[in-house]
Structures are given as structure tokens and as C-alpha cells.
Structure 1
């Protein structure tokens, strides 16, 4: 009975109306005895090991101190560091080229890259070094000129050119390139496909796409394995002893063969290798923190910041920058976007798209007049998004053509012949078509402001100062001027989508395409994005919107298109389609969604 009474008292406590005061209670931390046992055991083992090493005279610490900073050792160390640095640079430059060739659309480049990687990863490094060292006996001279013509500009004796250092550098670089190529390719493949599509939709050049968008994001996957390879390379320099090149390990070998102090000299090499690895590891941490910008809401503190406690102030500044209150005055979006003349006529003729035997679009014919807002409705799998992506040539049509203001997308007309455009020309035409994706596809390593100015600066060659001013103005008009220096990951979904809209508008496009712009948002965030699109709808800009928001389509669209199984079943004004649908399938669809 006593226990029952106590239990009842506990139940009655919270119901008394006053919260208990826990401030007077003493908190006893949870005890973890096995952690303490493990810690003590580790300290003991470490202490015993160090005592054994430091007090055993056979380790020869006096000899170690004599040779640790001796001139021959330092010269060998310098050569090891130089080989590591140069072979890393050349190896990763060649490896990056091979990686991009491997993922290119050219079968020849991809095949050559694969063959190089296969061959160099198969041949042991020591064998490669010996082959290169004997290359002068296979080819006496190195001729620079025009092949098969007898015209020679210069001639060199290959034995003289291929010094031991040159052989070591070439061999290490070639070997490193094969392994780094696969590391870089893995990083490239880790970048989300949406990032490629966003870069293509903005019309970024291949160079900017690869170096400015893909590679910075791939670096987070490349760096751990890449630095592992560099550290392995630093140790692999010891392999060049077969060339009698006096790097660190070879120098140590020469010394201990003379004085027979093997262990002390090996410890000299070991400690210097430890120092090299430690420096490389610190460099790796620094570079990883640099490329962590935008990937994490909060950049992790460096070792120095953890020791000094400076990280908290830096994080507070970053948080303040990302969460500062928005300015009260917001300029209207329409006033900055109304086009000076009517343009943006979209004409789609007999468009079909097939993936093997599967037909996604089937003979689609559609006209969107300049300044018109067209909403595309239909069940999942109807081909709506594929149609949208075909308009800006992200999807190449199997049959049919699309023209904007009479200009074919992807082709150039010369008389009665159509010539397919190269990628560069397609990118230039694509820049007049803004696109907002379902999953935002903002570049996570760039700030909000950098996302918006990327295409104007890179594609349209707008001066950076002008692009920044226009971007800040756009952010003000969508109510996000306080988020200019924030990274996408620090924003809500609705804020990210509004930034994506501003990024599309920064190019001042003739046409804006919206691919289900609210489907990835929480219901609470849908409204803020729809408000921006509603305001845009009154600007006179041609807009095509794929959406499941039927009420929004009824309110905003001038024309509604209903699709199913890759075909346009019905199109017309919202009042006609929603109030008196001509096609029975549209009636069934509306009965389910309204």
C-alpha cells in the first residue's frame, strides 16, 4: 500500500497546477567505469612503449641526433619533397584530364582514358621506373618536328634528357595520374545530376560547368582519397632508389651501409616521413574546410579555433548573416520585369520523345503566345516534365521541332536544310529560356548572391559589379535581400525556390519554365513561392508551368493544357477546361483533384 500511495503522489504532482522546481537538485553525471579502465590501459601501454623506446640504448638516439639534420639527409629530404610536390601536381592535372575524358561523350576519348588507366594501374611502379630509365636504349634521340615529313626542329639525346630525376618525376607522375583519374572520376559522378541540368539550363560553358560547378562540389569526395594518394606518393618516392637517385630513403641507405647504424638511420627517415605526412594532413584539413562551405549549415572549427575558442564568434557572425531580419521595404517584382516588347512565342511541332521502345511524348503540337501563362496539368507519367525539358533542349527530341520567336532550338536553318547546332550554340540560345526546377538545383558551394550572378557574368559577360547590383535588386524584390551571403543549405525550401526563381530571372529571359516548382515544398512553404509566381504572371513574360496546384492554375493561367500518355488531350482557357471539359478523361482527372 505504501508504494501505491507514493505512486499516486507522483501522479498527483503534475496535476497540482505548479511545475516542480528542479534547480535545487544536485545532478550526478552517469558513470562509465569501462571507459575509465580503457583510458588507463591505453595510457599505460603508451607510457611503457615510449619508455622502452627512449631508454633502450640500442635505438641509438645519439646517432639519430647526429644525422637527423645533417646536410646529406636534408638534401635527400628536399629532393623527396620536390618529387612529391611536382608529381602530385602533374599527376593530378593529367588525372583530371583523363577523368573528364572518361566521362565525356566521345567514345574515342573515353576509350583512350580507360586504356591508359588500365595499363598504368597494371604495371608496378618499380617496373615503370626501370622501363623509363632504359628508354634511351630503345630510342636514341628525341626529335621534335612534323611526323612522317622528315622536317625536324630540334633533336635531343634521350639518354642525356632522361636524367634519374627526370625519370623519377615522369614515372611517379604517370603512375599517379592513373590512380588520381579514378578518384576524380568518382568525385564527378558523386555530383547530383540536377547540378548538371541547372548549369546546362543557365547556358554555362563546358569549362565553367566543369571547373566552376562540378569540380568544387566533387572536391569533397575527391579530397580524402586524393590526399591518401599524395601521402602514398610521398612514401613511394623511396622506390626511386632503383635509379640511384639520392632522395631521403636512398641517402639513409648509403649512410647506414657505411657506419652500420641501421636502426638509428631508419628512424631518421621514419621521423622525417612522419613530419611530411603530418604537414600534408594539416593541409588536407584546411582544404576540406574550404570546400565544406555550403555543404554544411555550420563549417566545422579548425584545430586552432578549437584551441583558442575563436570558432564561436565566427559561427555567431555566420548565423547573424544568415538570420538577420529582412528589410521592411520590398520593391515590387513586376516593375523590374515587364518586357519592353512582346516576345517569347513558343511553337511546338510534331514533338515526340522515345526512350528505346517507350514513348514519353507522342506527336505533341502546341503554341504558347507571347506574354501568355500556360499551365500544364496531368497525372504522373503524362510527359509534362519531359515536354518542359524539351523546350530548352535539355531533352533532345526524337522527332519534331521547337521554335521560340521563330528560332529553332538545337538547329539552324539554311535554305531547306536543318543543321544540328553544336553544344556552344545551343547554350547561347538556351540562355534566353529561364528554368526553375522542382528540386531547386541551387549550387550549394555558392552563396545566394553568387548563384544569381553566375550566369549573367559567365554567359552574358555582364560586368560583375553590375551583376551584383542587379542581383541585390532581385533579392529585394523577392523579399530575401538579407540572405545574400547565406548558402542554400541555410535557407528553407521556400526561400531556396525563390532564389532559384531570381537566378532564372537574372538572365532576363524571353520564356520562363517552371517544373512543378512547389512539389518539393512543405504545404506551409507553398504559398510564398506561389505568390512570387503570381506576381511574375502579371509581368508579361511568357511562362510555362507544370504543376499539380489546380487552384493556382485556374487563378493564374491564360491557357491550361491537359496531358496524358505523352499526348495533349485538351487545351484552352481555364474557365472552359474546368467548367466544361470536352474530354472525358479530363473530367475524371478534375473529379479526383478538385
Structure 2
């Protein structure tokens, strides 16, 4: 290149000049054409509707706020509210029955749903309105006896309004049951297991853990059903019940102004839909907590921000992004003061899934305060053995005891009787479990994740539980993350929160199911450091792991399993350096 060529090159702008460069976004001609076309279409529609005198806007204005119309609107809103309240209450009960372990209860719920989803609403309303033809009286008493406490005439009891509410309830209940069941099934199974492992009762699990997460799937479809219900109230005209649409019909049959009166009904239905849509938006926003790193802005705040009254995004306490937090050093305070470790006795345990034998005649003892690592190939039964220790999996044969107390059963002679759920949950709190995939509750903050079980299971006051939680977070090096949601944390941080959550119940035995397998290699060390400190605390640790080096450093004993059996057990030096069984040697040769 010649000197002349260099002279023709553009001179690079200085950094100061670059800071003042004007940025021009790329022009999207197709978008511009589409916008112009939309404006033209909208103008044509407005001109057609507002410029045509046959729409009768004067008559529309005359009747829009008239007393009969408002009375009909009020009845429509009342039917919608009652139908939604009772319908979703019934639907929730039916959904819980559908997912219950009772075949008869699940079958009965399925039959109800099948019947009332099949019946057209108008047919159901007519049947209910004529129920007096089938049953002269409705009685309250003891079934299958002549004992009656009270009775009423069916014709007098089943008024058109009651028939409408009952019909809308039965119809919505059948459809909403499947919506709610779908939401329940959408919650990851790990959430159920984590709640059970913390000893939370079934009702509390459903109310605080499962349903709040299920609501993210339920709400959009549920509001479709509610909007359909609001419009479906027009069907009750067959009962001569003067709701909005029937009132409009009466008026236009008298004055023959059909279109203006239909527009009155149309606009009111649009207003109802708009209000329900705003409510839906805010409910969805509420249940999006923890699922999104940044919540969408409040709809009212958007309007006020457009008017310049408030800022669109209020100042919030900053939470460090997970990517930045990954490199943060882990500084914890140790785990002195934890309860004394418990002794674990496993005798003759066997477990099958169908024809697949997962565990065969397992006999193991774990001394108080010992640290045991269980290794072996995938599918060898390691995780299943761990889950039987806290009764997340029922054993087919054998017993498991903590400090001499059976887990999941009581013994009378040669017979084992499984305990009721309440007793199982109570004993399970002595056996904490940290899962491979963390299983933190995403809709709860870190602090709430840790305090949930101590408050509900141990009976701690909120202030005491929060003080305990903050202390444990400091011990695992996450004191500043109390108000963050799990999604805002790195994998290593989430696992450390899971450890703190388990320790909050002060268990005698702590189970780790491959605690680092779901982590990036860079994050493994921070979790293993916490487990190392736990190993020195005196609590009994049983760890399923593929980290052979970690097992060598921390464990008192290593157990090698294959095909549901204990192949070899002994000190780390013996198992890892001089295994007695050839299968153990072959496995270690592959993983080292």
C-alpha cells in the first residue's frame, strides 16, 4: 500500500469524539408500512361505526346507565362472582381427588368431571330448574335411614337464581378441576419430595409449596374460564332470570331498537373483560415471583409513569447476578453447636420397582458422627438406599432405625406396621436430605426457604426462625442473599442454601444425594468446602458421590455398591488403594 493510499483512509475518531456520536437505529420499512396500514384500517372502522347514524348512539347513551340495565349488570356480576367462587372451590376439591392415591375417590371425581363436561350448560340449567319434577322434597338427614332433620319443597327451594348459581358452579367446577389438576401436575416432583423431606404436612405442602407454583400454569386458563363464565351467564335467560342480556332483550323487544341495545350489552361485556384482564395480569405478576429475575412492571405504575407521576421501575435492593456471584469467595463460619450425630442401622433392606430389584439384602451400620461416602456406577441403587433412610421410598423388606427408633414403621412382635403420615413426618425431621437438583422452593426467598419448616414443624416463632436462618446463611457464606430468590443465585449458592435449609431442622443424620453432580466444575469446590466443615461438626453424614478425591479426603468409610448390593466397604485407604473385590478395582480404574 502506497503513502497516497494511507492518506485516503478515514482518520479514527478520538475516544472523546466517539462519546458524542449519534446513533441511528435501522429503519424497518415493512414495519412502517404495517403501522400505516393499521392506522388506515382503524380509521375506516371508526368512521364506519361513528359516522353511521343507524348505530343509534343517542339511544345507546340513553340506556347505557339506565336502572334496568344496571340491575341486570349487577345480577350478571353476582352470578359471575358466585359461580367463580363456588366453581373453583369445587374444582380444587375435584382436582385433589383426581390426584389422590385412592382409586375409588379418583374414579368418582373423574366420573363427575366426565358427566358435567358432557352436559351443555343450557340443558343442565333446565334440568335443575325442573328438579321438583324428579324430587318433591330435599331433606337433610342420615343417609339410608328414615332419620330426617329438616326438609324443604324442591319447587320452592330451587328458585331460578339458585338454579343458575348451582348450574354455573357444577359446569365451571368440572372444567376448572382439569385446569387445576394440570397445574398441580406441572410442579416438579422434586418439590414434593423436598417438602416431604422437611417434614411438612400434606396440607401445608399443598397450600404453601405446590399450589403457589401451580398457579403460574393455572391462572391464564382459569381466567379464560371466568371470562367464559361472565359471558355464559347470558344462557340463564332460559330461566327468565333478568341478568344483563335478558334485560337487554326485554328492552329491545319493546322499543325495537335492537342494535343500540345490543351495543349496550357488548360494551358492558367489554368492560367486564377488561377489568378481569387487569386482575389476571396482577395475579400472574404476583405468582411470577421467583420464576423471573425481573418482574414485569405493575400495570397501574405504567399508566402513572406515562403521566410523569412516578418512575417506571422503583429502586430495589440490588441482587448480584448469578454470573458475578460464581467467582465470589466462600467464607463460612463453621458448624459448631449442631446436634450430636445419630447412629443408623440398616438390616435386611430390599426394594423393587415392579420386576426390577433395586436393593437386595442391605446390612449396614453408621456410627454417630461418622462420614460415609457411597460410590458405584449409575443404577447401582445408591440414591434409592439413601431415600429409604428417610422413608421417601418404602422398603419391601427389612428395617432402618436412627438411634434405635424405626423410621416409617412400628414393630409389634414379628410384624411391622407403617406409621401414619403425621408420625412419619415427625421422625423424618431427624434425617435431613440435600438433593442433587437443590429442590429449593422457587416462589419463596432464600430466607423463607429456610424458615418454612422450623416454623411449621419445630414450632419456632418467626423472629427466632429468621435469626436461625440468618445464622446458617452466614455459616455457608451467603449472609447477604437472604432476600434473593433461588433463580437469582448460582448453582453452588443454591446448593449451599439447600444445606442451610436442611440444617435448620437440626437433624441427627444428613444425607447428600450426589450434591455436586448438577453443578459446573467451577462451583463444585464451594459446596464441597461446606460439606468438609460439616464433616468436622459431629453430625452423621452419608454422601452418595462421584467425587472420589473428595471421598478420600473427608470420609471415614467408603461403600461400593453395584446392582443393588454392597460389594465392598472399608476405610478410604483400603477401598481406593487396595480394593479386595475386582469389580471395585475396575470401577475405580475407570473413574480415576
TM-score band (shorter)? over 0.9
Which of the residues 504, 507, 515 maps onto 2:505? 507
Q: Who is 1:113 aligned against?
A: 109
Deviation at 1:325, TM superposition (A): 14
| CA distance in 2: counterparts of 1:100 and 1:227, whole angstroms | 20
**Residue matched to 2:357:** 359
Residue 210 of structure 1 aligns with which residue? 206
> Structure 1: which 5+ residue stretches go unaligned?
none
Structural mapping, 1:296-307, within 5 Å: 296-307=292-303
CA shift, 1:586, in A, is: 1.1
TM-score by length of 2: 0.94
Q: Bigger shift: 476-485 or 113-122?
A: 476-485
Partners of 2:548 and 2:143 in 1: CA distance: 68
Per-residue deviation at 1:587?
1.3
Name the residue aligned to 2:83. 87
- Separation of aligned partners in 2, 1:143 and 1:424: 37
What's the C-alpha RMSD, in Å, of the aligned pairs?
Answer: 2.5
Q: 1:506 to 1:24 in 2, by over 3 A?
A: closer
Aligned position for 1:548: 546
Structure 1 contact 321–485 (Cα < 8 Å) conserved: no
Displacement, 1:424? 2.0
- CA gap of 1:318–1:239, structure 2 versus 1, over 3 A, is farther
SS state at 1:365 partner: strand
Map of 1:473 onto structure 2: 471
Q: Secondary structure at the match of 1:462?
A: coil
Per the alignment, residue 258 of structure 1 pairs with 254
1:548 partner SS: coil
Q: Is contact 1:327-1:482 (8 Å) kept?
A: no
Alignment partner for residue 145 of structure 2, among 133, 146, 149? 149
Contact 2:55 2:259 in 1 (8 A): yes
Between 1:241-250 and 1:296-305, the stretch displaced more is 296-305
2:358 is paired with a residue of what secondary structure?
A: strand
Write out per-residue CA displacement over residues 135-173 of structure 1, whole angstroms, 9 at most, x where no aligned residue.
012111111112233221111111111111100000000
Indicate if the aligned counterparts of 1:562 and 1:569 stay in contact, CA closer than 8 A.
Answer: yes
Deviation at residue 579 of structure 1 after TM alignment: 1.9
1:381 aligns with 2:379: yes
Distance in 1, Cα, partners of 2:65 & 2:480: 56
CA distance in 2, matches of 1:324, 1:306: 31
Corresponding position of 1:234? 230
Q: Secondary structure at the match of 1:314?
A: coil
Separation in 1, partners of 2:423, 2:458: 13
Task: Write the distance in 1 (CA, Å) between the matches of 2:75 and 2:320.
Answer: 48
Greater mean alpha carbon deviation, residues 431-440 or residues 419-428: 419-428
Q: 1:491 to 1:327 in 2, by over 3 A?
A: closer
| CA distance in structure 1 between the partners assigned to 2:426 and 2:474 by the alignment | 28
Query: Which residue of structure 1 lines up, in the alignment, with residue 451 of structure 2?
Result: 453
Whether the 8 Å contact between 2:375 and 2:544 is mirrored in structure 1 is yes
2:476–2:530 contact (8 Å) kept in structure 1? yes
Between 1:154-163 and 1:315-324, the stretch displaced more is 315-324
- Conservation of the 8 A alpha-carbon contact between 1:559 and 1:573: yes
1:271 & 1:553 partners in 2: Cα distance?
70
**Equivalent runs, 1:174-185 vs 2, <5 Å:** 174-185=170-181
- The answer on 1:122 being equivalent to 2:118 is yes
Match of 1:188 in 2: 184
In the alignment, structure 1 residue 28 sits paired with structure 2 residue 29: no
| TM-score normalised by L of structure 1 | 0.94
Verify the 8 A CA contact 1:53 1:59 in the aligned structure 2.
yes
Instruction: Name the structure 2 match of 1:56.
Output: 52
Counterpart position of 1:332: 333
After superposition, give the CA deviation of every residue in 1:305-333 in whole Å (9 maximum; x if it has no partner): 33444565436435479999999997723
Segments of 5+ residues of structure 2 without an aligned counterpart are none
CA apart distance, 1:5: 6.7
Distance 1:329 1:192, change over 3 A: closer
Matched-pair contact (CA < 8 Å) for 2:112–2:174:
yes
